[in-house]
Amino acid sequence: MKLLKLTTISLLAASLTFSSCGEDFITVEPTVVATGDQIDDLAQKNPDKLMIIVNPLLAGVYNYLNQYNTQGSSRTVHNDFGWMSVMHVGDVMTNDLAFHVQGSGWFTYDYMFDYRSEQYVRPYWYWNFFYSIINKCNDIISKIPEGVDNTEVKAAKGQALALRGISYYYLINMFQQPYSQLSDPATAPGVPLIYTTAEGESRLNRVPVAEVYAQSEKDLTDAIGLLDGFQRTSKTAINKEVAQLLLSRVYLAMERWNDAATMAHEARINSNAQLMSSIEVARDGFNDINNKEWMWGADITAETTTMFASFFSFMCTFDAGYGGSVGQYRKIDARLYESFTPTDARLAQFKSPDAVVNPESTDITIKCPAYTNFKFKKVTGWEADYVFMRLSEAYLTEAEALAHQNKNGEAAAVLKELMVNRDPSWSKSSVTVDDVYTQRRLELWGEGFSFFDHLRLKKDIVRNYEGSNHWVGGRKNVSAGDWLLIYQIPRTELQENDMITEEDQNP
């Protein structure tokens, strides 16, 4: 099957079919195909019945974000657990997260910058994951006609558009140099754009970077409008404020500072989320979707946990996983750790190099090496939830975007709202971009932001330094703009998509 030429279900040939049976419900009829007019009519007259079709599809997309083995491998793939495996891949390709040992091999080649070539599974896995999301979202979008007035129906389309839009953002950032480094984004080759039938013919070539970003922006902007007034019942769903903050990620990459600041500001002032206090951020386990600061995440249950093949298997020091009792500890970079002031509450998230045994020590905290993370804590039964977005991101994005515009005092005022809940000694009246960037690295450590920030801010990766606490096999320095940080198009795509040839391949 062609990776990109996955069937999108048009309004003229819906995969789920139905016929009217009184006024109370619809029934599946395998011999009847719903036409576009029938779906339009249903959307206007009986939107609740349309949601009977759409809701399972939307739930399927969200479930896919946390699915084990999204690539469909016949082998054990403990490094493939959906969205958070993507985030973890990014984090291990930076300065900020240090391996203690080589480990079992899961994520090790990512850490060594040796998993980008077309023949390796990693580019295929990444490509397949996001294009699968895009195709699932197109299935939903194609079933909801323009002009629907029902809030729930509009919100379903908005969520699908938001997921499609942010998927293009993550694709373009891994298969082409960052927007800020390109001499001409309008001509630099990007990634294919896959449309619904109503939107037109899909573009299976490497669409120029600027046009991919334009599609990402359009999808997220449309999503924000459609999500207006939507009241979600769970933080597993995307709402308007989540879509706004996702769009701010796109604007940061494009260096559209005013737009990034505006979106982040709107998201934070209208969100129901609240910042954790300094006490809460020190004690929290970053494992519960009910945390007041979380804006979007995954609710992991006994039915959905992927156990050893999970984010917490690698990032939780206190459980039986790879990053815990197996001994493949995930640590903060030693130099980054030194950026904390002695009064910063977030110090409690890591083992101090000066730690001494005290009444609160446990066998685990004594055994693990200096700088090991304590941020992500154990939940019995591997039911720790996944954080996709926290309110603190909005403060950091707005502050950074203001600093880029030389509004250093305004940036400090925004950042201070966060910092009073992290470090009582912090009292700057003016901040630089690097000041904000440091706090962003400390605050969002391990949550999947570091790599994409490294790319867009053109930061070198330097692990080989005196006193480095990185595993010796990963002590490599990589300059900003190096193709080691960018994937090649997967070989299967070159073989099966006539619109992308060897000449189109990344170096």
Q: State CA 418 to chain mean position distance.
A: 22
What is the model's pLDDT at position 235?
Answer: 99
Evaluate whether 424 touches 278 at the Cβ level (below 8 Å).
Answer: yes
What is the model's pLDDT at position 8?
Answer: 32
Query: Within 13 A of 334's CA, how many CA atoms are on the CB side?
Result: 17
What is the model's pLDDT at position 7?
Answer: 32
What is the model's pLDDT at position 46?
Answer: 76
Query: Within 13 A of 168's CA, how many CA atoms are on the CB side?
Result: 31
Residue 255 is encoded by which pair of tokens?
A: 């260096």
User: Domain segments of the chain: what residues?
Assistant: 18-77+116-231+476-504
What is the model's pLDDT at position 39?
Answer: 65
CA distance 381 to 337: 31
What is the model's pLDDT at position 20?
Answer: 34
**Alpha-helix residue ranges (DSSP H) falling in 286-384:** 311-315, 334-337, 363-367
In tens digits, the chain (507 residues) has pLDDT values of 334 433 333 333 333 333 333 333 223 233 334 566 666 666 666 777 889 999 999 999 999 999 999 999 988 899 999 999 999 999 999 999 999 999 888 999 999 999 999 999 999 999 999 999 999 999 999 999 888 889 999 999 999 999 999 999 999 999 999 999 999 999 999 999 999 999 999 999 999 999 999 999 999 999 999 999 999 999 999 999 999 999 999 999 999 999 999 999 999 999 999 999 999 999 999 999 999 999 999 999 999 999 999 999 999 999 999 999 999 999 999 999 999 999 999 999 999 999 887 777 888 999 999 999 999 999 999 999 999 999 999 999 999 999 999 999 999 999 999 999 999 999 999 999 999 999 999 999 999 999 999 999 999 999 999 999 999 999 999 999 999 999 999 999 999 999 999 999 999
Q: Which residues contact 318 (CB under 8 A, 6 or more apart)?
A: 324, 364, 374, 377, 378
- The secondary structure of residue 8, as a DSSP letter, is P
Render the burial of 371-409: b for 16+ CB within 10 Å, e for the rest.
bbbbbbbbbeebbbbbbbbbbbbbbbbbbbbbbbeebbe
Residue 336 is encoded by which pair of tokens?
A: 């980054």
Residue 294 is encoded by which pair of tokens?
A: 């979380």
What is the model's pLDDT at position 448?
Answer: 98
Evaluate whether 254 touches 179 at the Cβ level (below 8 Å).
Answer: yes
- From the options 1.20.120, 1.10.10, 1.10.3470, 1.25.40, give the CATH code of 18-77+116-231+476-504: 1.25.40
For residue 330, what are the β-bridge partners? 99
CA distance 253 to 173: 9
Evaluate whether 355 touches 331 at the Cβ level (below 8 Å).
Answer: no
Q: Which residues contact 291 (CB under 8 A, 6 or more apart)?
A: 276, 284, 387
What is the model's pLDDT at position 109?
Answer: 96
CA distance 397 to 343: 23
CA distance 148 to 81: 35
